[in-house]
Chain A
Amino acid sequence: MASGVKPRVKAPSSATAGEVVTIKTLISHKMESGQRKDSSGNVIPRSIINRFTCDYNGENVIDVKMEPAISTNPYFEFEAKIPETGEFKFTWYDDDGDVYEDSKAVTVG
């Protein structure tokens, strides 16, 4: 596992049915592009998060393929419509096979 990886998510804990809410996500990750060389001239191997997905009650909200040009600590902000009470599930996929997860429950009241 890449060091110091920590997902953070900001989403409202309650909403009205059909409301469109803004979700912000940020994951600390060095996002090493694989293009850089270290001080002795050796290529620093690529190590990035290559995919990010968000599901709500099993239904996909977004699915992002990520490339090496994305800078360190990738941040995503997007909107989602809340039909009923449920849970957001966020998943980040690392090059090294690690999967980082976070979730946020939303109550419709």
Chain B
Amino acid sequence: MNFKAMTAMAALLFAPAAYAGGADDDTLIVNDEIEMVTKTAAPEHLDGALDQIISGWHFRADETQQLQTDDFENQGMIFVDQAMDTWNTAEGSEDKSCADCHNDPAESMKGVAATYPKWNEEAGELRTVQMQVNDCRESRMGAEAWKYDAGEAINMEAMIASHSRGMPVDVAIDGPVAEQWEKGKDIYYTRYGQLELACASCHEENYGNYIRADHLSQGQINGFPTYRLKNARLNGVHSRFRGCIRDTRAETFPTGSPEFVALELYVKSRGNGLSVEGPSVRN
């Protein structure tokens, strides 16, 4: 927060409802080299809904923001390191490791996180990064699939995401995935639970406002998997969806369910143009 923001806040003391906790104007540069696009024009399909898309990074306190600017202080990177060990470890009946086929992830996984969830032509289904990893484990390594959003799966997703940092999110929403994208959009605008809240109720209509003591962001997922200070580990997109729907006092969909895969595609497409930040740091 700069001096201007401070004076703006002082002014806001007289009108607290108007802009409380809105996005700040800071710039995110990671390791002094990766310049992130954290605010940009909304993609076309959001016409009428949002003009500008803003990374969740802007809605966090300065201290939290700073943790993400250096890989050493970003504790999400600890899990990326652990995933690197897993990457090089042979497993399963084929006794193969990820590295045996994909070599150096800095090369082979570059840009992957920017385009997933993605249609897999061979399997005829929409796949998230974790689904793709599990398919590799089962069909090529002869290893057991990982549980969705758990330990090693989320670490691996973070490691893969880390090699796309700074690249713009660019998921396809047409062609074979159009139907699922529509389904995701339906879920986004459906009011769930006793509180009758849709994703849009908070993240489209009220971002920047307070929800209890916290600021609502636009609910962008360009920074996932996210290292959260509150639980000191990486959090997956589907787990976050679960948490949100649970908070509306509804029964949620399970992680890895077709509903959440569709919702992930839709929500990710709302961030088309923002930089991939994963693993990001949030509170």
Contact = CB atoms under 8 A, between A and B. Distances in A.
B75 A73 contact: yes
Given A71-B232, A73-B232, A28 B78 contact: yes
Given A24-B72, A75-B73, A6 B81 contact: yes
Contacts of B73: 24, 75
Q: Which of A4, A24, A71 has the most CB of B within 10 A?
A: A4
B250 to A, nearest CB: 24
A4 B82 contact: yes
Nearest to B72: A10
B269 to A, nearest CB: 34
Contacts of A4: 82
Interface string A3-41: 010101010000000000000101010000000000000
Contacts of A50: none
Contacts of A10: 72
A72 interface: yes
Contacts of B75: 26, 73
Chain B, interface size category, equals: under 10
A26 B72 contact: yes
Interface string A81-95: 000000000000000
Contacts of B72: 8, 10, 24, 26
B114 to A, nearest CB: 27
Contacts of A28: 78, 81-82
A13 to B, nearest CB: 15
A72 B81 contact: no
A28 B233 CA distance: 11
B197 to A, nearest CB: 30
A71 B233 CA distance: 12
A20 to B, nearest CB: 19
B232 A26 contact: no
Interface string B106-141: 000000000000000000000000000000000000
Interface of B: 72-73, 75, 78, 81-82, 232
Given A8-B72, A75-B73, 13 more contacts: A4-B82, A6-B78, A6-B81, A8-B81, A24-B72, A24-B73, A26-B78, A28-B81, A28-B82, A71-B232, A72-B232, A73-B75, A73-B232
22 contacts: A4-B82, A6-B78, A6-B81, A6-B82, A8-B72, A8-B78, A8-B81, A10-B72, A24-B72, A24-B73, A26-B72, A26-B75, A26-B78, A28-B78, A28-B81, A28-B82, A71-B232, A72-B232, A73-B75, A73-B78, A73-B232, A75-B73
